[in-house]
Structure formats: structure tokens, C-alpha cells
Structure 1
């Protein structure tokens, strides 16, 4: 799909979320020159009055993505974008950037038109997640199953024995876990098995990793004082946490390192030539998923987001949300 087509699709999907009393007519520019607010024009009609805007259609994942718009922002310009975090929405307001995002949030403020719409989508998702956690706190096996289904949704249509091999869990745990997910309306196990609510499953994954998987990872802490990129990586070694986030975003300089491996820990330890240290910055841990699971950017993103959120560090959490929006 071309960039122009993607922008048109994003703009139309976002504008479709506007309340019924606001009519939006969007026209994309035939030739986009790369400058700000030149992707098209939109006319908002409210109570019979028309308000034209020059439009920038853009995916925003961090403050730097917005900074290029600051100089050209004006009362008659409008950003149409993916869902903004509250932090990024506030930056828009501080720099007089009108916006409509894909969660239905709207903040427009010019001399003639003032619209402020706060989407209920986030709070509703949290309520659903709390309900799921309250009724069925996921154990380690169900959390592993959740990781595999999010990494490779097609696994859901395999036999229970194959699913067990992918997730590294027992056959009984496959049946129990799928039953939990179906009871929470996360998946359908009808004639055609399918995932129904990926967003809520992602939220549940973050929580279940922190509560059920992370405390049981085991592994060993190592003293490591070199550059993390110098660590010898084998085919079955996988980064988690901050290093995984850096590979995906090039935005976070890793301090705490988490390395999953399929090799015996003593063998990997000898390869790394690091000495154990309970306060060490390199955490070497056994991979908890099955060997049949083919690694992907989605798998990397799931491990990064879960560990970053578990750290409770505000900067890590901001990067976790960037990864969520870009890759999940």
C-alpha cells in the first residue's frame, strides 16, 4: 500500500469517528510535497457553519514526531493521526496544534470553532481488563498461551497438541487457557476459531507477564560492563526489555539488559565470559515459549512492552506505548 493510500485510509477512518453533528469532507492533495499540513484539506460543518482546515496526516509516536509541526501550526491547520497518549495530546495543545486522533479524541481551538472531545475508549478498555483479571487471574500457563496467540494468531487454528508445543505448556493447560479466553470473549472457539479482542488481550498480556511469568523466569544476573551490542548472539537468543525496545525504536539507550536464551545457562554464561552478580545489569533467562514459535517483530515487541511496563519507570512506559502503537 502506498504512502498516499495509507494516509487517505487513516484520514477517512479517523474522520468517521466524529460525532454525528459534525460533518467532515476530506480532499487529499494530488501531489504531496512533503511540507507540513499539505496532505489535503478538510471542511468541518457544525450547525450549518463551515470551517476549512489544511491537513497533515501523520503517525505520531513521540514528541519528536510532533516538533516538525510546531512552526507551521495555525488556527486553520489540523493534524489527523493515530491515537495520542495524554502526554502527546497535551504537547499538541501547548503548541497550538489542532488534532483529531484514531481513538476519537478531538481538540480544536481557533477563533470561531472550539471542540474538545475526550474518548472513553481507554477507560472502557481498562474496565474490561479489570473485569477479566478479577474473574480469572491468569496463571503462568495461560499467560504463556496468550503470548503465543498474540505472537502468531494462526496458532489458534492448530491442534491442541501443536498449540501446547508452541506455548511450552501441557495439553490440559491449552484446554483450560482457551476456555478462559473464550469465557472473557477474547476468542471464539466455534466452527472457525478466531481472536475477537486483540487490544484487550494485549493489556492482559502485560499484566499477566508481570504477575505470572516474570516472577518465575529464574535465570541469573551477570556483571556486564561492555556495550550491549557486543554480546554474542546465537540463533536462539532473544532480547527482551530495554534492548528489545532499542532494536525496535532506536529511541531508548538500554541500561538494564534482559536476554532470553534456549541454550543451557552454563553454556551461555561461559560464552558471555561474565561473572554472576545479584546486582548485575544483564539478566540471562531461559526462553519460556516453545521452540516451534518462529520469532518475529511482534514477539520482540510483546517482550519489550511487558518488561518495560513491569519496570514502573516513566520513560520506559512511554517507550512501551510507542512500541504498542507501532508494532502491536
Structure 2
């Protein structure tokens, strides 16, 4: 017998007092699923046994290897699961105890469902009902660049300004605001301190500070969005960006960012202007030095989906958050 891992110790320590747990971690067993140990739970005098997998979970892919072997008498012990990953466990019959105090067990005879306060707060954040902090437009643009490429934080201020397409003075002001909020450190070594809270602030600031000033033009697209001619400096946002990342959402409202002059791109699209049209052609708001990445696309997708207030869009935004951000 070997000493249980820190994940198992922390998770089982958070069980309510009326649930007794006896965990024996296996030694020398490898290769099998749910072979890390055996857990005995005692609830109201009754004993229930489970074969255990101790595993760190960060995204759906980390869970998928468990699905085929999940059974009423198996159980996952892991780090804190996000609400999205909790839903995945429930859908696939994976019993779990995580080290934030969340428990979901259903073996036919024993039913336990415990949701920690930490998870409820996370659910609020993912539903975008968090604090209503607002950055100005320039600081919000800087935030987008720092989340897209954290290395930019260590660039000279003048170069940061070029990446974010803002003034040099706005770089200084924006960094000061982020430091005051304990999101970044501007000490001898500049670094990001709280990327998750920066992401929440980006979503809110995009809706309040960037989106209303995007401008552009609404067009009526008659054909398929996949057939739109794309140049190297064209970028999908919103639902189309989400579809490219997840293959889960059939886009209805389209948002296309371009670094070309809008009139030039308009001539390529051959779409007629329509204030109620389904395609929003928008000038890119960031600098052309920013190298495009899946993270950049995910940031644009999540922010626009969240601003729609559509429940399905928000669910897809949550998926993108878990998989890419």
C-alpha cells in the first residue's frame, strides 16, 4: 500500500462529516482504467465500494478515456471540475469526487449530489453574470492582445501599442489599470497573475467598450458562409468562429473582421447592404503585428457569443472556454 496522492487526500477531506471514506491506493498497478485504488464509503451505516481513477482533468479530452469503463461501481477522484466538465461526467455516467468539494455519485443504491460554493461562483462567471467591471476601449484592446499572446507583456511599450492598435499613453494607462486590479505584475519580471479573471474582464469589456464602436456594415448573405472568399487578413468572429473551433454551432449571425478597407472587401463579397442582414463586416480593431492563433479566434468567438445573450450561444461559449482558453 502506498500513500494516497494529494488530489485524493484533499478531495476526500472535503466530504461532509456524515460520509466516512476509506481509500486504499494500489501499488504497482498501471495501464488499467479505474485501477488506482479502492474506496469504501460509509453512509448512514451502509457500505459502498468503488474502483477508483485518480486523475487531473483539464478538458473533455482528459475525461474521454474513462467513458468506456465507467460503471456504477467506479469513481473518479480529481481536481476541481468546471460546470461544463461536471455536465460531461453526468452525461457519461462518471461518478466523481473533486478537490473543491463537488460530489456526484449514483450507483443505483447510493445517490449523492453535492455542489460546492466555489463551483456555483464559477457557474456565475461562465454565465457571464460576474462583476460589471468596465475597461475603456484602449485598455480592452490591450487586454485582448495580452490574452492572445502573453509574451507581448514583456515587449517595449511602443511595440505593445502597435500590437493593440492604441496610443503609447493608453498602453501605460491600461497596464496601470490591470496592475491595480492585481491581474498583472509590472515588477522586474512582468507577468500575468490571474488569466481567468482577465478573461472574464475581456468578455465584459468587449460587450461594453469595443463592440459598440466596431462600426462596419451589415450585409445580406444569400449563399453559404463557407463560400465567402477569405484573405490572409480576414478573420471570423462570433458564431462562425465558434463553428470553426467546435463544429457544434450552425451559424445564423455572421461576423467577419477584415484588415482590408471595408469597401474593397465589400466588392469581393458581392452582398447588398441590409441593416437587418445576417453578415456583419467589421474592421479589425487590433494591430497587424498580432500573429493570429486559435486563442485569438476563441477570444473573439466567446466575447461575441456572450454578448448575444442567447442560451445556446452561451453554452457554446462555455465549451470554447474549456477547450481553448
- TM class by shorter-chain length? 0.7 to 0.9
Pairs within 5 Å for 1:1-328:
15=8, 17-20=10-13, 30-31=30-31, 38=33, 40-44=35-39, 51-55=49-53, 61=60, 69=67, 73-79=70-76, 83-85=81-83, 89=86, 97-101=94-98, 104-110=101-107, 115-124=112-121, 133-134=132-133, 137-328=134-325
Shift of 1:98: 1.3
Alignment CA distance shift 1:16-1:133 (3 Å): farther
Contact 1:132/1:184, CA 8 A, preserved across alignment: no
Query: Partner of 2:17 in structure 1?
Result: none
- Specify the SS of the correspondent of 2:51: strand
5+ unaligned residues in a row in structure 1: which ranges?
Answer: 1-11, 33-37
Q: CA deviation at 1:114?
A: 6.0
- Counterpart CA distance in 1 for 2:24 and 2:256 is 50
Give 1:4's aligned residue: none
Structure 1 pair 232–263 and aligned structure 2 pair: CA distance change class (3 A):
same
Q: TM-score when scaled to structure 2?
A: 0.81
How far the C-alpha of 1:121 sits from its partner, in A, is 2.8
- Give the TM-score, by structure 1 length: 0.80
In structure 2, relative to structure 1, the CA distance for the partners of 1:177 and 1:249 (3 Å cut) is same
Instruction: Supply the distance in 1 between the matched residues of 2:187 and 2:181 (Cα, whole angstroms).
Output: 15
- Give, in angstroms, the shift of residue 172 of structure 1: 1.0
**Helix, strand or coil at the partner of 1:40:** coil
Structure 2 CA distance for partners of 1:161 and 1:274, relative to 1, 3 Å: same
CA RMSD of aligned residues (A): 3.4
Number of residue equivalences:
305
SS in 2 for 1:52: strand
Unmatched segments (≥5 aa) in structure 2: 15-20
CA distance in 2, matches of 1:204, 1:124: 15
Deviation at 1:227, TM superposition (A): 1.0
